[in-house]
Amino acid sequence: MQIGTRQITKTGFPGIVAFNLDDTAPARSLVVQSSVRVALEALAHYNADFIDRHKRHLSRFLLDRRCDGVLISTSIPADLANSSPRFNNITQATLWVLKSDDKNALDRLAVVSSKLGAVQY
């Protein structure tokens, strides 16, 4: 988080710190689910777990306004019984933010969310 916020600060522009959790998934893991939707929900829970475990640390940087938010992304092979082709690589991205009264930050986050095709849970 410190490295990411340092990079943002150097640019002079606000930004989002991103984490790729691909390497944190258990080795040789495969999501086995009935559909893409169910598999993506499982990855959303995986991303949310990461945020919950590190929330105290992450929130410090957001509260200090060193970044607008945190983007967590995980990709993993998936066996989707009701899909064709059945074997896929799926990716779930989770954008985590704190409530903010910063209109500019909210506008920037709305753009990122729309680019990701965000669905709020």
Query: Which tens digits make up the pLDDT trace of 26-68?
Result: 766 778 889 889 999 999 999 999 999 999 998 888 888 888 8
Of 19 and 103, which is predicted with more confidence?
A: 19
SS3 41: helix
DSSP run (H or E) holding 77: strand 69-80
Q: CA distances (Å), 115 to each of 33, 65, 88, 102, in order?
A: 26, 22, 22, 20
* 45 and 91 Cβ atoms separated by less than 8 Å: no
Query: Domain range for residue 18?
Result: 2-116
Please tell me the distance from the alpha carbon of residue 12 to that of residue 100, in angstroms, as a whole number: 20
pTM of the model: 0.80
pLDDT in tens, 64-105: 888 888 999 999 999 999 988 889 889 999 988 887 778 888
In a domain, 121, yes or no: no
Tally of domains within the chain: 1
3 pLDDT exceeds 90? Answer: no
Confirm whether 22 is domain-assigned: yes
For residue 79, the tally of other CB atoms under 10 A from its CB is 14
